[in-house]
Amino acid sequence: MTTPVRDTFINLSHGSGGKAMRALIDDVFLGAFGNAGSDAMEDSATLSLADMLCHGDRLAFTTDSYVVDPLFFPGADIGALAVAGTVNDLAVSGARPLFLSCGMVLEEGLPLETLRRVARSMRRMADRAGVTIVTGDTKVVERGAADKLFINTSGIGVIPAGIAVSAANARPGDAVIVSGGLGEHGVAILIARNQLALEADVESDCQPLHGLVAAILEACPATRCLRDATRGGVATVLNEFANGSGVGIHIREPALPIREVVRGACEILGLDPLYLANEGKLVTVVPGPDADRVLAAMRAHPAGAEAAIIGEVMREPTGMVVMQTAFGGERIVDLLVGEQLPRIC
């Protein structure tokens, strides 16, 4: 029988391991995530290897922590972000995402209703991504020892036989494709923080990308590289590909899909959209002859409707990304130095 939480705010007893903590888990977390099985309150989830082997021959395992500020922002919140971010890390490794864990660090004084909203959001995103949250952990720290709520999610997925994507796979002649408009998550966070004196219709692009990745791999099983462009944006991803593969990557500024409102916000604040975080966009490198077929498959999927070929892989300059500007010149797109926007995810 579920014991309801009668408190209005998180207090230290909710992390003590006693009745208050059990009520919190039963009411808020099991209430939102559901009981995944008879082992829901054990120290670990028990998963069937036989069921996982039906999907492929290798496991993918990833973990990430989320400290975004504010907790709620246009288009999403920290809960949806935590689920989608981990699902996407699995997806771009070529895996089918299956299971997630959820670890929460709660600050004393956090409103219970805020926690409920986040938990419900996590469940909705998990259902959308076709994954199950099967285990978790809750810790409570004193007021001032954290900032409201931090989340860690780890994920397990299965990689089908024959799929091998890696940042080391890019080859000269390959095409570079992005799945849609850049920088929208970063600008949405700025607006939510009231750091941007601009009334703009910009929402975070937070979304699961497993379906888009499946469409890419179906169109081109020989896909070379996949990466979601989160912290550091597309520029960081392209540098990782260039360095990992020992190639040069050439991109064209006019080909970059950037909404005018995002471009305008970046111009006002002196930010480069190539470095802004995205939470629902990916970069892929595919063999040149397959590029048009992959692009068509991406544009046929809702998460890739604005996909664009932005450049190609060259032999030189080795380990570097070069962009042809809108004015016909060239500039090096290097790794980010410092932090454009802290606590973006």
pLDDT digits (tens, 9 = 90+) for 161-178: 999 999 999 999 999 999
Measured CA to CA, the distance from residue 321 to residue 250 in angstroms comes to 6
Q: Is the pLDDT higher at 91 or at 192?
A: 91
Contact 133, 45 (CB under 8 A): no
pLDDT value of position 194: 77
Does the pLDDT value for residue 179 go beyond 80? yes
Confidence class for position 38, pLDDT limits 50, 70, 90: very low
Does the pLDDT value for residue 137 go beyond 80? yes
| 282-340 per-position pLDDT tens digit | 999 999 999 999 999 999 999 999 999 999 999 999 999 999 999 999 999 999 887 77
Confidence class for position 341, pLDDT limits 50, 70, 90: confident
Contact 290, 216 (CB under 8 A): no
Does the pLDDT value for residue 116 go beyond 70? yes
Look at the domain 175-332 and name its fold. Phosphoribosyl-aminoimidazole Synthetase; Chain A, domain 2 (3.90.650)
Measured CA to CA, the distance from residue 80 to residue 205 in angstroms comes to 11
The domain limits of the chain are: 12-159, 175-332
C-alpha distances in angstroms, 230 versus 14, 46, 141, 298?
33, 31, 28, 19
The interaxial angle of helices 291-299 and 210-219, nearest 10 deg, is 150
Q: Is the pLDDT higher at 3 or at 23?
A: 23
In this prediction, residues 50-75 reach a mean pLDDT of 95
Structure tokens at 65: 């922590």
Closest among 201, 202, 208 to 228, alpha carbons compared: 208
Amino acid at 179: S
Q: What mean pLDDT value characterizes the chain?
A: 94
pLDDT value of position 123: 97
DSSP label of 327:
T
Query: In CATH, what is the architecture of 12-159?
Result: 2-Layer Sandwich (3.30)
pLDDT value of position 268: 85
| 149-163 per-position pLDDT tens digit | 999 999 999 999 999
Measured CA to CA, the distance from residue 12 to residue 179 in angstroms comes to 44
pLDDT value of position 40: 60
